[in-house]
Structure 1
Amino acid sequence: MVQLTRRHLLTAFGAAAVTTVAGCGDGEESTEGLDGKRAGAMDGFKAGDQFKATEPITFSIMMLSNQGYPYKADWPFFAELTKRTNVTLESTAVPGSDYNQKRSVMVSAGDAPMIIPKTYHPDEEAFIASGAVIPVSDYIDLMPHYKEKVARWNLQPNLDGFKAQDGKYYLLPGLHENTWQDYSLGVRTDVMEKLGLSQPQTWDDLTTVLREMKKAHPDLYPLSDRWSTPPQPGANNLLNILATSYGTHAGWGYRPAHWDAAAGKFVFSGAMDEYRQILQYLNTLVTEKLIDPESFTQTDDIARQKFANGKSFVISANAQTLVNELRKDIAKIPGAKVSKLILPTGPAGATLPGESRLENGIMISKKALESKNFVAMMQFIDWLWYSDGGLMFSKWGIEGQTYSGKVDDGSFTLDPGVKWGGLNPDAPKDLQVDYGFFNGVFAYGGSTAMLNSQFSEEEKTFQAEMNKREIRPVDPPAPLNDVEREQVTLWASALKDHVNQQTLRFILGQRPLSEWDAYVKELEGKNSTQYMDIQNKAYERYKKEHG
């Protein structure tokens, strides 16, 4: 699912800063114990180099097969990758719906491929104690492109949050130059224009817009939302973007521990007053019939049908779904137009959370470290996932065949015979389906220029507004030890279930918000206080041991 505020423009630190990254305790073991593991590796591999193994090599990889572009062994991506790098990927393809479970089973059993992408922090923590995955931070000296971007984009504070109690991290995340806010709400701008409404700047402004829509169309709910199934607010975009604006964690982005900088400690997210304010806001929309109460339980298809039939005017959206789905859905409505709202601001002001500069990433299985080609594999990963050349290849494909020009000088254009997202929508070939490029297993991260290359002018305008916002600091590291992790795991499920259940009840008015204090007591009865005590103990311990 990208990032730097323009107010915090990052400087290029140069060679000294690159050295500093390794000097922070990362990469210190990468030059030791690797005798016999350098077969196929390049000598003197450095940032800017095109990786090509000195002999043909095969690496095994776990491959998420996306429903939108199912895995094909004969994608041009694979043949061209082998041509450029001398590396053949042996894929274990797994449907997206089964990916996390299959990955867990294979890693735990020691049967996982060498390269395990599409892993979201902190999922990797489950495999640390067994030694099934390696501490990748020990080997980043083998990855010059990765190190250079971490230093130049000042990403070390973000990576600190990935560290385990031993001060090492076990996941190589996607790296983004700047914070990227993609998700917001899609709104029928023709309806707004007809009613003389201006773009809402705040969530309160949005309430005013919805009220005017309701006044003009009393028989419908102006907002009927999607992305809430399975029916729990823990899988919900609307709560997530509200949490971004209120300064807490909810919906898709929910996690139990929130760093309270003023108090200097972690607090339980689901008990924060900011969380209560979100529920109060949504309850007001429900009470005034401005939001469809089925928004929190209905399937995406039903939500889209309501939008397509003119039964609602506002729905969750991102850059791709705006073009690929919503605009097609309303095409039969004369004069209908839909655009993505600039994300409204809330009590947290014009800010965005800093965590989004890191994406899902790669675990490396223990058996990879036993391979004679281990060093070559780390160089290969470094080039494909972290070099500008590798990112250009994985995202846009083959120059002269699928695209022309460069992203950094603005001359980039996708070949007119190839479509992706909102680019060339009527082209006969699909970049993902037919070629295998822009596959989420490989294509993420990169510079702001690289990110903007995938956007229409409309989306670039949206991003320009988002990039004006200040980035909030990331949470400090507070890694748990094995005993602590086992303990909080026993509490976490019951706490999350209770937060989800009561969140929905509060929103729908099935439980009055006057019972908020009672709800907080219920969380305490399910060990929320003890949970945060352990989290804060881990924070203090890490700060003492690692600074």
Structure 2
Amino acid sequence: MFQRVRRRAAVVAAGALTLSLVACGSGDDSEAEDLSANRAGAMSELGVDQQFKATEPVSFSVLYNNHPNYPLKNDWLFWTELNKRTNVTLEPVAVPLSDYEQKRSLLIGAGDAPFIIPKTYPSQEDVFVSSGAILPVSDYLDLMPNFKDKIAKWNLAPEINQRRQADGKFYLLPGVHEKPWHDYSLVVRTDILEELNLQVPKTWDDVYTMLKAMKAKYPNTIPFSDRYSQPNPAGNLLNLLAASYGMEGAGWNFQHISWDPTGKKLFYTGASEQHRQMLTYLNKLVKEGLLDPESFTQTDDTARQKLANGKSFVISGNAQGLVNDYRPDLAKTLPNAKLTKIPLPIGPAGEINPAPRLENGIMISKKARDSKNFVAMMQFIDWLFYSDSGQEFARWGVEGTTFTKDASGKHSLAADVNVIGLNPKAPKHLQKDFGFYNGVFTYGGKPELVQAFFSPEEQEFQKVMNARTPRAVAPPYPFTDEEREQVSLWQTPLKDFVYQATLQFILGQRDLAQWDAYLAELKGKNMDAYMDKVNEAYERYQKEHG
């Protein structure tokens, strides 16, 4: 769920943190608004982790991202049990996963959007804010005690503030995590490490040393051959390295703007010294035959075949890729091989966990505000998406049917239920047959909940990553509608040029001695004007909202 994080939020001093929490509430105009005509079905008051149940039957429309791995079924236990517990009937407007973003835009633009619009990623709401089609949800936080409680308990105000628009309000209710959850890293043939008497690499310099040793022992191989190059070349590898070098994102999470927490300034990622150092590192790997140049163009299947055939020993991936792709591939060709997803190697930015604590979330259609059931709907959303019990229900299902719980509170899947290969021979599937652990409704939570279906191996990986310092989050710099229209004309040409030059520098098609010429070309593509707009927006927000 974290692959498409658009921006990150800011490190704020303790005093500012308190103010920002107040801002979360001060943007809340629900007290000033007369909601007396919108309380049909609402509880008189909803407490933290109190079971929400509408006082009369109510129904709400929801845009439903129909995932091909678990296609929508109307008879899922999720729907019936949800109705039993809350007196709410959800009316899904199903849209195929492949067309979700386009159909969402069409529905909203036509005024036909459902009330509840999940699976929206940060900054995707911007266009709908300017059109007035979605609700400033920060105005209604007093209707959402569970959301407010988690923001306060988990000190999430800086991240929440980063989502605010130029008017100081935010329009997307994000999934919230107590701890960062980082998934992607390098997957390494540890049997080769044992053969070479090498330890698991801890830093990117150690990775270089490891690859050199692999190449020396097996000169006919290129030790590292990567996947994830469509649609962005080396999308995952560049993203991992960007975080390790102190940038917001590259590859599939390309970010124009990064934050320097030491100098307390915003900078253009693709023009930074950090970016140059990252390209220098990758160029060295390619030049010395340690990183396959085809990594930047080849299909995932080709990269997997090279790993399975012993032509490479290292690839990037996540927990599911390790279990579902790489290990089965190798079991067919090299059954004695051993693969491990290693903790993210440490780079110049230090021992950090780069994952955000906010994920994609929910927009509310502006027309929902006029519904007689509006207050009940906000209470329902607060319970399902942000209460401990609602999050447990969405992920685990029904105790005694899909899971059991021991005296200590530890959850276990029912013996006849499978998910992510935990009970591979079980006849029923938590997602396909029951509708739980569904990406439309399963967002965030405490680590023990988020990691509930992780293998012991993956939980050890997360333990290492959670011990690291969360990455500093950048301050907000929201554009006005006019500014957004202007910078949008600059962003695509800048991004395309940075992508092109990045590959040229890495592959040696352009000498890194031409770095100054590259910077001059960026300026010619309005980089300085873009940065001026970014800094103006940043300073304006600081002045107006603190």
TM-score range, shorter chain: over 0.9
Q: CA deviation at 1:106?
A: 1.6
Aligned to 2:192: 191
**SS of alignment partner, residue 68 of structure 1:** coil
Aligned to 1:488: 487
Residues 310, 454 of structure 1: alpha-carbon distance in 2 compared, 3 angstrom cutoff: same
Q: Is the 1:176–1:357 Cα contact (8 Å) retained in structure 2?
A: yes
Aligned to 2:7: none
Moved more, 178-187 or 292-301: 292-301
Q: CA deviation at 1:422?
A: 4.6
In 2, the alpha carbon distance for the partners of 1:323 and 1:467 equals 22
Q: Normalising by the residue count of structure 1, what TM-score does the alignment of the two structures yield?
A: 0.93
Amino acid at match of 2:521: E
Question: Quick check: 1:239 aligned with 2:238?
Answer: yes
- Once the two structures are superposed, what CA deviation does each residue of 1:87-110 show, in whole Å capped at 9, x if it has no partner? 121112222222112212222222
In 2, the alpha carbon distance for the partners of 1:211 and 1:137 equals 53
Structure 2 unaligned regions, length at least 5: 3-10
Amino acid at match of 1:330: L
Amino acid at match of 2:461: F
In 2, the alpha carbon distance for the partners of 1:91 and 1:274 equals 46
Q: Is the 1:231–1:298 Cα contact (8 Å) retained in structure 2?
A: no
**SS of alignment partner, residue 77 of structure 1:** helix
Amino acid at match of 1:544: K
- Once the two structures are superposed, what CA deviation does each residue of 1:227-275 show, in whole Å capped at 9, x if it has no partner? 1202435xx1111111111101212222111122344332111111111
Q: Normalising by the residue count of structure 2, what TM-score does the alignment of the two structures yield?
A: 0.93
**SS of alignment partner, residue 36 of structure 1:** helix
- Once the two structures are superposed, what CA deviation does each residue of 1:370-395 show, in whole Å capped at 9, x if it has no partner? 21111111111111110111111111
Q: Is the 1:64–1:118 Cα contact (8 Å) retained in structure 2?
A: yes
Aligned to 1:112: 113
- Once the two structures are superposed, what CA deviation does each residue of 1:355-381 show, in whole Å capped at 9, x if it has no partner? 601011100011111211111111111
Overall identity of the aligned pairs, in %: 57
In 1, the alpha carbon distance for the partners of 2:20 and 2:241 equals 40
In 1, the alpha carbon distance for the partners of 2:126 and 2:470 equals 27
Moved more, 58-67 or 19-28: 19-28
Q: CA deviation at 1:134?
A: 0.6
- Once the two structures are superposed, what CA deviation does each residue of 1:27-59 show, in whole Å capped at 9, x if it has no partner? 233562212111111111111211111222221
Aligned to 2:286: 286
Aligned to 2:519: 520
Amino acid at match of 2:66: S
Residues 231, 474 of structure 1: alpha-carbon distance in 2 compared, 3 angstrom cutoff: closer
- Once the two structures are superposed, what CA deviation does each residue of 1:101-134 show, in whole Å capped at 9, x if it has no partner? 2212222222211111111111111111111001
Amino acid at match of 1:433: K
In 2, the alpha carbon distance for the partners of 1:276 and 1:429 equals 51
Aligned to 1:504: 503
**SS of alignment partner, residue 330 of structure 1:** helix
Q: CA deviation at 1:80?
A: 1.7
Q: CA deviation at 1:18?
A: 12
Amino acid at match of 2:229: S
Q: Is the 2:61–2:116 Cα contact (8 Å) retained in structure 1?
A: yes
Amino acid at match of 2:117: I
**SS of alignment partner, residue 129 of structure 1:** helix
Q: Give the alignment of 1:174-185 within 5 angstroms.
A: 174-185=175-186
Q: Give the alignment of 1:103-502 within 5 angstroms.
A: 103-233=104-234, 236-248=235-247, 249-332=249-332, 333-353=334-354, 356-405=356-405, 409=408, 411-502=410-501
Moved more, 150-159 or 90-99: 90-99
Aligned to 2:5: none
In 1, the alpha carbon distance for the partners of 2:274 and 2:293 equals 22
Q: CA deviation at 1:137?
A: 0.3
In 1, the alpha carbon distance for the partners of 2:20 and 2:301 equals 51
In 1, the alpha carbon distance for the partners of 2:85 and 2:23 equals 29
- Once the two structures are superposed, what CA deviation does each residue of 1:426-446 show, in whole Å capped at 9, x if it has no partner? 333222222221111111200
Residues 105, 304 of structure 1: alpha-carbon distance in 2 compared, 3 angstrom cutoff: same
In 2, the alpha carbon distance for the partners of 1:253 and 1:74 equals 37
In 1, the alpha carbon distance for the partners of 2:24 and 2:467 equals 33
In 2, the alpha carbon distance for the partners of 1:247 and 1:505 equals 22
Aligned to 2:544: 545
Q: Is the 2:60–2:89 Cα contact (8 Å) retained in structure 1?
A: yes
Moved more, 53-62 or 374-383: 53-62
Q: Is the 2:261–2:472 Cα contact (8 Å) retained in structure 1?
A: no
In 2, the alpha carbon distance for the partners of 1:435 and 1:512 equals 56
Alignment length (residue pairs): 531
Question: Quick check: 1:88 aligned with 2:108?
Answer: no
Moved more, 386-395 or 328-337: 328-337
In 2, the alpha carbon distance for the partners of 1:20 and 1:358 equals 16
In 2, the alpha carbon distance for the partners of 1:303 and 1:75 equals 38
**SS of alignment partner, residue 480 of structure 1:** coil
Moved more, 483-492 or 211-220: 211-220
In 2, the alpha carbon distance for the partners of 1:264 and 1:83 equals 51
In 2, the alpha carbon distance for the partners of 1:345 and 1:103 equals 39
Q: CA deviation at 1:324?
A: 2.1
4+ long deviations beyond 4 Å: 17-24
Moved more, 241-250 or 313-322: 313-322
Aligned to 1:5: none
In 2, the alpha carbon distance for the partners of 1:238 and 1:23 equals 36
Q: CA deviation at 1:278?
A: 1.2
Residues 543, 276 of structure 1: alpha-carbon distance in 2 compared, 3 angstrom cutoff: same
In 1, the alpha carbon distance for the partners of 2:440 and 2:64 equals 7
**SS of alignment partner, residue 344 of structure 1:** coil
Across the aligned residues of Structure 1 and Structure 2, the Cα RMSD in angstroms comes to 2.1
- Once the two structures are superposed, what CA deviation does each residue of 1:289-343 show, in whole Å capped at 9, x if it has no partner? 2122121222222222222233222112112222222222211222122111111
**SS of alignment partner, residue 130 of structure 2:** coil
Amino acid at match of 2:200: Q
Residues 511, 77 of structure 1: alpha-carbon distance in 2 compared, 3 angstrom cutoff: same
Aligned to 2:6: none
Amino acid at match of 1:453: A
- Once the two structures are superposed, what CA deviation does each residue of 1:512-547 show, in whole Å capped at 9, x if it has no partner? 111111111111111111111111011111111111
Q: CA deviation at 1:279?
A: 1.2
Residues 75, 218 of structure 1: alpha-carbon distance in 2 compared, 3 angstrom cutoff: farther
